[in-house]
A and B are shown apart, each in its own frame.
Chain A
Amino acid sequence: MQKEQISSSLFLFSIGCLIQASSSLTSFLTSVTKQDSWVVVIFGFLVSLPMIWMYTALAAKFPGKSLIEINDIVLGKVFGKIFSVFYIFFFFSLCFLNVNLFGGFVGGSLLPDTPILSIYLLFVLVCTWAVVGGIEVIARYGALFVFLAFATVFLNIVLSWKDIKLINLKPSFTLPFIKYVQGTHITAALPFCDTVVFLMFSSNLKNPRDFGKAFFGGLCIGGATLLIVLLRNIAVLGSIVNIESNPNYEAIRLINVWGFITRMESIYGIMLIILFFFKISILFYVTVKAIEELFHLHSYRILVPSVGALIISFSMIVFSSSAEDAYWGENVVAFYSTFFEVVLPSITFIAAITRFRNRENRQFKT
């Protein structure tokens, strides 16, 4: 199978788009740190930088190899496969968790009476089509819609200008310290370190040396969008930002310019669907690609329908209620993600450094 190649700018914008998709549904952040959520985003960005450096170093040490292949080289046949299975489970879980999050918004606010299965089914069906198209298709889609997402964020801020009151950002820094730690942990784990999935694509870059720069650039784009969106939400909503289950949606619902520019949440809904389509396609693609590499299959296309069906069924059963989802988002997901995004790559990285210290530029064959 011919290896697909994407340029580093496509890579950069794809990472930005992934983080922008997370910035459209931020309720788990604002419920923890309320009006200081924007501070927590900055801290989370800084805390995730060492992790990003580690991913870049791993990719630089084994240029042209994806995560699964690196695991095999560094940790040996047995442990490498065990780690890879963990990663596959993680990518798969990210995928169906995001589908569930998406269904929560669409099924709760946009189409309340529709059975959730039909929403998931149609959505994942179209994602399947994108995944079969391959990484080039998905990355081009992501690069295009980064700009559209920026434009929508900018437009919504301009339209909600008269609702923005900077006094709503106060009182600052009055929450107990542990809340800031919790908030930073959540922000660093997702959305910023969710980008560990892009370690699977280091073999697809045209120029593997640009991995680190592109990664950092994409993180900045996504982080900037997240920060701006959170600042706007807190400035508009003020003290009710931690009550609302979807503060982004409610802040945009309040837009009322000159009496006729109202109900802009339709544009928000469309952008959310566009961005989540990208995120779920990437996560879906990464899952099937990882399975393909683990078992040395000829092509991942055989797996796509089965994995798609599994994603739909898992996303329907993962949470019994949205209250459980909220509890998961505030208390559990940071630790769950930390294990797969920090602990496992760290072990791989330390093993890589100790075992292959002097063999920087040699090409390895698995």
Chain B
Amino acid sequence: MCFLIRVRKFTKIFVLCIFLLSLSGCWNARELNALNVVIGMGLDSAENSNDIEVTAQVVNLSKSGSKKSKSEKGGGGMDIVNLTDSGPDIFPIIRGYTHEVNRKLYFPHNQIIVFGKDFASKGVRDSLDFFLRDHETRLTVNVLVAKGKAKSIFEAEPEYLSLPAADIEQILEMQNATSETATLRLFDFMSCLTSKTCSAVAPLIEVLEEGGKKHYKIAGGAVFKEDKAVGELDKTQTRGMLWVTGKIKSGLLRVNAKDQNATLEIISAKSKVEPKINEDGTIVFKIKIAEKSSLGSQEGSENFATPENLHLLEIAGEEKIQEEIQSAVDKAMELDADIFHFSQSVQSKYPRKWENIKKDWDQLFKTIQIEYDIDVKINKTGNIAKPNYPEEE
């Protein structure tokens, strides 16, 4: 009997030791020095064939040890390496980097995906499948379109930025200050691609050179129709689109009243779009914008900080907003791309009629009419009550 009890005790301890082994860490664990952390991906068309050229901007976390550097740039102790390769399909290219680098790429910290202009105009849907299906990639990455090649965006490493791709993402967040740039997450792009009538707008990025130094400029938007980039929006048109989709966070409106210029700072803006289908089949969209701003600066001796003049400024502001929206609508009609998601508002208000008209949406979109109902309110006028001019005698 004692022997059996001892056997049982021994078995229990033995099994517990086996359990202890399983606590030593997970099978999949990759230490930091085994990771090639990707912070930005660029996709281009290869020059002479139908291939895709993929650029991966990778942070090399171990400073000593083997470094494969095609272009070395260190800021803050980080080594950035741009890995470029081309091939017919994305997943083989990414896996194929292991022929050159000693680690597999690690995607969860990827911040941006940049499409080159040529690549975007050929259609991006199939190459996105890898980013949607893989378990490491995330849907919150930002999607951008480069004015030239995406590779040039990653290879131009401005000196003041330590992690270019991560800093591009921060510049994108800064765009809220002017609201003249579209922003697009991979998730929003994916939702747009599953619908036949939705058009996504991705921010445009380019590299400018001044005095031998390069820097980035992010402004405006690239319009996608289905999955091909068909045109560009400049800053004014992009802001017009953002007015309608309600994504304005801040910005400046330059208005003119009584022959003097003034600048209004946008504090908040709300928008509402109401579709109405008339009996003859035409669709009218009533766009309601309610915006609050403050007087940022003014020129001239006429004091705008009086109720009557503020009212004039408000009217001027409403006209300016209407101009911006109209320019966006004109460009959207020219490109025949529904960047305002009007189709979604029609579908939610008239679900039965939408089933009938959705095949003709492309033609219908060119004939829509817009009614504006814009309301600007100027609340604050700043620290000074009168402009810096001597008193009139």
Would you call B27 and A240 a contact (CB within 8 A)?
A: no
Q: Which of B27, B140, B195 contacts A253 (CB 8 A)?
A: B140
Q: Which of B139, B187, B355 contacts A174 (CB 8 A)?
A: B355
Q: Mark B340-375, 1 if CB is under 8 A from A, else 0.
A: 000010011001001100000000000000000000
Alpha-carbon distance A125/B282, docked complex (angstroms): 66
Alpha-carbon distance A253/B136, docked complex (angstroms): 11
Whether, in the assembled complex, A171 has its beta carbon less than 8 Å from a beta carbon of chain B, the answer is yes
Residues of chain B within 8 A (CB-CB) of A172 are 351
Chain A contacts with B in 109-128, Cβ cutoff 8 A: 109, 111-115, 118, 122, 125
Would you call A170 and B351 a contact (CB within 8 A)?
A: yes
Q: Which of A171, A240, A254, A262 contacts B194 (CB 8 A)?
A: A240
Chain B residue at smallest Cβ distance from A126:
B19
Chain A contacts with B in 70-128, Cβ cutoff 8 A: 108-109, 111-115, 118, 122, 125
Chain A residue at smallest Cβ distance from B135:
A109
Q: A174-B351, A253-B139, A253-B140 are in contact. Are A240 and B28 (CB under 8 A)?
A: no
Whether, in the assembled complex, A181 has its beta carbon less than 8 Å from a beta carbon of chain B, the answer is no
Q: Which of A111, A125, A262 contacts B28 (CB 8 A)?
A: A111
Alpha-carbon distance A201/B173, docked complex (angstroms): 57
A interface residues, how many (CB within 8 angstroms): 26
Would you call A254 and B139 a contact (CB within 8 A)?
A: yes
List 5 extra interface pairs beyond A171-B347, A240-B191, A259-B173, CB under 8 A.
Answer: A111-B26, A114-B27, A170-B351, A239-B191, A240-B194
Alpha-carbon distance A254/B141, docked complex (angstroms): 10
Chain A residue at smallest Cβ distance from B347:
A171
Chain A residue at smallest Cβ distance from B345:
A167
Whether, in the assembled complex, B138 has its beta carbon less than 8 Å from a beta carbon of chain A, the answer is yes
Chain B residue at smallest Cβ distance from A111:
B28
Q: A112-B135, A113-B28, A171-B348 are in contact. Are A243 and B194 (CB under 8 A)?
A: yes
Alpha-carbon distance A250/B244, docked complex (angstroms): 28
Alpha-carbon distance A144/B145, docked complex (angstroms): 50
Whether, in the assembled complex, B312 has its beta carbon less than 8 Å from a beta carbon of chain A, the answer is no
Whether, in the assembled complex, A256 has its beta carbon less than 8 Å from a beta carbon of chain B, the answer is yes
* Chain A nearest Cβ from B275, distance in angstroms: 13
Residues of A within 8 A of B (CB): 108-109, 111-115, 118, 122, 125, 167, 170-172, 174, 237-240, 243, 250, 253-254, 256, 259, 262
Whether, in the assembled complex, B48 has its beta carbon less than 8 Å from a beta carbon of chain A, the answer is no
Residues of chain A within 8 A (CB-CB) of B138 are 253
Residues of chain A within 8 A (CB-CB) of B348 are 167, 170-171
* Chain A nearest Cβ from B29, distance in angstroms: 10
Chain B contacts with A in 20-36, Cβ cutoff 8 A: 22, 26-28
Chain B residue at smallest Cβ distance from A239:
B194
Q: A108-B135, A109-B135, A238-B191 are in contact. Are A114 and B28 (CB under 8 A)?
A: yes
Alpha-carbon distance A174/B187, docked complex (angstroms): 24
Whether, in the assembled complex, B94 has its beta carbon less than 8 Å from a beta carbon of chain A, the answer is no
Would you call A112 and B28 a contact (CB within 8 A)?
A: yes
Would you call A170 and B347 a contact (CB within 8 A)?
A: yes
Alpha-carbon distance A238/B190, docked complex (angstroms): 11
Chain B contacts with A in 128-146, Cβ cutoff 8 A: 135, 138-140
* Chain B nearest Cβ from A52, distance in angstroms: 35
Lowest 8 A-B CB distances belong to which pairs?
A114-B27, A170-B348, A171-B351, A113-B28, A239-B194, A111-B28, A109-B135, A238-B191
Q: Mark B164-193, 1 if CB is under 8 A from A, else 0.
A: 000000000100000000000001001100
* Chain A nearest Cβ from B199, distance in angstroms: 14
Contacts A/B (CB < 8 Å), 25 sampled: A109-B135, A111-B26, A112-B135, A113-B28, A114-B27, A114-B28, A115-B27, A118-B27, A125-B19, A167-B348, A170-B347, A170-B348, A171-B351, A171-B354, A174-B351, A238-B191, A239-B195, A240-B187, A240-B190, A240-B191, A243-B194, A254-B140, A254-B187, A259-B173, A262-B140
Chain B contacts with A in 227-254, Cβ cutoff 8 A: none
Would you call B27 and A113 a contact (CB within 8 A)?
A: yes
Residues of chain B within 8 A (CB-CB) of A109 are 135
Residues of chain B within 8 A (CB-CB) of A256 are 140
* Chain B nearest Cβ from A169, distance in angstroms: 9
Q: Mark B319-348, 1 if CB is under 8 A from A, else 0.
A: 000000000000000000000000010011
Residues of chain B within 8 A (CB-CB) of A122 are 22
* Chain B nearest Cβ from A140, distance in angstroms: 23
Chain A residue at smallest Cβ distance from B18:
A125
Chain A residue at smallest Cβ distance from B15:
A125
* Chain B nearest Cβ from A20, distance in angstroms: 24
Alpha-carbon distance A125/B22, docked complex (angstroms): 12
Residues of chain B within 8 A (CB-CB) of A108 are 135
Alpha-carbon distance A171/B355, docked complex (angstroms): 10
Alpha-carbon distance A112/B137, docked complex (angstroms): 13
Q: Mark B189-216, 1 if CB is under 8 A from A, else 0.
A: 0110011000000000000000000000
Residues of chain B within 8 A (CB-CB) of A243 are 194
Alpha-carbon distance A51/B78, docked complex (angstroms): 63
Alpha-carbon distance A240/B139, docked complex (angstroms): 12
Residues of chain A within 8 A (CB-CB) of B195 are 239
Alpha-carbon distance A111/B27, docked complex (angstroms): 8
Q: Which of A111, A113, A167 contacts B344 (CB 8 A)?
A: A167
Residues of chain A within 8 A (CB-CB) of B139 are 250, 253-254
Residues of chain A within 8 A (CB-CB) of B140 are 253-254, 256, 262
Alpha-carbon distance A262/B108, docked complex (angstroms): 12
Alpha-carbon distance A156/B28, docked complex (angstroms): 27
Alpha-carbon distance A253/B141, docked complex (angstroms): 11
Alpha-carbon distance A237/B132, docked complex (angstroms): 14
Would you call A114 and B191 a contact (CB within 8 A)?
A: no
* Chain A nearest Cβ from B25, distance in angstroms: 11
* Chain A nearest Cβ from B13, distance in angstroms: 16
Alpha-carbon distance A250/B22, docked complex (angstroms): 29
* Chain B nearest Cβ from A233, distance in angstroms: 13
Would you call A114 and B347 a contact (CB within 8 A)?
A: no
* Chain A nearest Cβ from B387, distance in angstroms: 38
* Chain B nearest Cβ from A2, distance in angstroms: 22
Which one of A109, A114, A238, A243 has the greatest number of beta carbons of chain B within 10 Å? Answer: A238
Alpha-carbon distance A291/B22, docked complex (angstroms): 32
Alpha-carbon distance A210/B344, docked complex (angstroms): 50
* Chain A nearest Cβ from B272, distance in angstroms: 12
Which one of A115, A240, A254 has the greatest number of beta carbons of chain B within 10 Å? Answer: A240
* Chain B nearest Cβ from A97, distance in angstroms: 23
Chain B residue at smallest Cβ distance from A256:
B140
Residues of chain B within 8 A (CB-CB) of A112 are 28, 135
* Chain B nearest Cβ from A177, distance in angstroms: 15
Residues of chain B within 8 A (CB-CB) of A250 are 139
Chain B residue at smallest Cβ distance from A121:
B22
Which one of A171, A256, A262 has the greatest number of beta carbons of chain B within 10 Å? Answer: A171
